[in-house]
Chains A and B, each alone.
Chain A
């Protein structure tokens, strides 16, 4: 795994919106009118301009999160990711976002205690390869994401209510139209992880579970019925996609996490086969 490949991937992550996300935003144009439509047009113009100029589409380049599948030594991979993040901060550049939570001191590197955030998720499909997904998440939308420990008897209705209420409470703060990642089950922190991981699935890829695919569609309708619209200025597009991941949970629990993601869903998937580096999407 070459550090410079990773720096280049981070540049693409920050400057080019994935086509499935851009496509959904284009779809919103036809449904909106007046100021709400003007806002969506400004967003799309921004996406185009950022791509042409090779500059980050949003000044909040976020906190980067890395999902890795490999058989390599984890410390070695983590160190390379840290080095790539340090270099990308200077070269792309990224805004220096990480601070000490108590003193608010900013070292200017996007590193620090607990960073980079790397999830090692077992082995790759082909032995010897390194597979990686990266997501860059800004604070506006992460700040309104939430976890709920429901009672088991609240069931699927409780899950729907938690999702819709979280989006309603978030209002305009997370830069709608949003993508909603939902993590059901596990435990407290596992549900939060699943909600973030859900955002990695392309918007045009259906949930493989038919019931959950239907639940996602129903949640899209319910969220859009809130009428929050682009940037909270009203309209029928509050969300451009709901993505759900799940895991088994304790018999006495029903953990639900809702990761609200701004329209700028910046994610990228990579693969190294030996020295051969490939951007998958």
Chain B
């Protein structure tokens, strides 16, 4: 369905964006906006957060540059080289680590599910970033928008926990539920 159709059908504002995200794009996004993303997503969940912070805290460099990029709380399911199911995982598990990761990397966007806490909300506002949610459990639908795997890092963490660089096209709906103004949209 085209953007106009979606806006009319669900009475929401729909945006198509490409990564890396620009500052003015981030600032213009508001809670309740629906985003379809093209470009690259970096899957990062529990163990990748732990390792990234270990590296960054001792002044090291990550093997991938997250500046301006969007990370995805996801442990994909692959068949050979193809991603066949890749919905979001519960973001709240990363709450204790996300603010620091935003500060140390300059990442601009997070996609996950279930929302995040106050520390992340503050970091999003301070450093100019957004948190978006893809419908949980809709793994096959998410995989449909993934064109290919570009790179993989830290595979020793196990496939669900590794960092997969995924080329995506019109990946969505991603609903903005925490914006760079400190607004949070959540009912549970």
Contact = CB atoms under 8 A, between A and B. Distances in A.
Interface of A: 33-35, 37-39, 42-43, 45-46, 49-50, 53, 55-61, 93-97, 99, 104-106, 108, 138-140, 143, 168, 171-173, 175-176, 226-229, 231-235, 238, 262-264
The 5 closest A-B pairs by CB, nearest first: A228-B188, A234-B187, A106-B158, A175-B136, A46-B138
Contacts of B74: 59
Contact of B188 (A95, A143, A227): A227
B60 to A, nearest CB: 21
Contacts of A57: 85, 137-140
Interface in B103-133: 113-115, 133
A228 B186 CA distance: 8
Most buried by A among B76, B92, B114: B114
A34 B12 contact: yes
Given A35-B175, A59-B76, A61-B77, A42 B138 contact: yes
Contacts of A46: 135, 137-141
A56 B77 contact: yes
Contacts of B158: 96, 99, 104-106, 108
Contacts of A264: 137
Given A168-B188, A173-B90, A56 B139 contact: yes
Nearest to B33: A35
Nearest to A41: B10
Given A50-B140, A55-B140, A264-B137, A95 B173 contact: no
B143 interface: yes
A52 to B, nearest CB: 9
Contacts of B115: 171-172, 232
A46 B159 CA distance: 23
B159 A96 contact: yes
A232 B186 CA distance: 6
Please tell me the size bucket of the interface on B: 35 or more
A15 to B, nearest CB: 8
Contacts of A227: 187-188
A214 to B, nearest CB: 26
A42 B12 contact: no
Contacts of A139: 89-90
14 contacts: A35-B12, A38-B12, A55-B140, A56-B85, A56-B139, A58-B138, A94-B77, A140-B89, A171-B114, A171-B188, A232-B115, A233-B133, A233-B186, A234-B187
A56 B188 contact: no
A227 B188 CA distance: 8
B160 A229 contact: no
A55 B143 contact: yes
A38 B139 contact: no
Interface string B148-160: 0000000000111
A228 B187 contact: yes
Contacts of A228: 187-188
A6 to B, nearest CB: 20
B185 interface: yes
Given A35-B10, A35-B32, A231-B135, A56 B84 contact: yes
Contacts of B85: 50, 55-59, 61, 95
Nearest to B160: A95
A35 B90 CA distance: 19
Most buried by A among B140, B160, B175: B140
B141 A45 contact: yes
Contacts of B185: 233
Given A58-B85, A60-B89, A93-B77, A233 B159 contact: no
B91 to A, nearest CB: 9
Nearest to B47: A104
Interface string B73-103: 0111111000011110110100000000000
B11 interface: yes
Given A168-B188, A227-B187, A227-B188, A42 B135 contact: yes
